[in-house]
Structure 1
């Protein structure tokens, strides 16, 4: 599970930009563990491999 700081580094964006991506729905919602937000590494890797599609939108050909 990635923290917001780790995910921001993976995506090469600031944590502020990451928060904006979350707010706008352009990245998958995190899992809340207590007060912490976490993203599963496997899911993030798949998302990146698919070209970072906007969650909830159908991709052409699917």
Structure 2
């Protein structure tokens, strides 16, 4: 399988937007483990996934935009946020 093409079993939401699993994001976009992707999400360093029951999915467009923007931290120093 090509590293640049999404998995054939990638699902779409009701609006036709491609959704990727944690492993898809790790393998196709970040070249890291799924565990590292989860850590990045927990640290607020990448877009939050969408939860579908027990499944965790990312919108492909969110990941591609995040990468195009240079992978900025998603959780900024928001005023009034908990520490």
TM range (shorter): 0.7 to 0.9
User: If each structure's strand is expressed as a fraction of its own residues, which one has the higher value?
Assistant: 2
**3-state DSSP of counterpart to 2:20:** coil
* Number of equivalent positions: 58
1:15 and 2:28 are equivalent in the alignment: no
Equivalence map 1:23-38=2 (5 Å): 23-38=42-57
Which segments of 5 or more consecutive residues in structure 1 lack a partner in the other structure?
Answer: none
Normalising by structure 2, report the TM-score.
0.64
**Stretches (4+) displaced over 4 A:** none
**Structural RMSD (CA):** 1.4
2:21 and 2:57 in contact (8 A); partners too: yes
User: If each structure's helix is expressed as a fraction of its own residues, which one has the higher value?
Assistant: 1
Larger CA Rg, structure 1 vs 2: 2
Normalising by structure 1, report the TM-score.
0.84
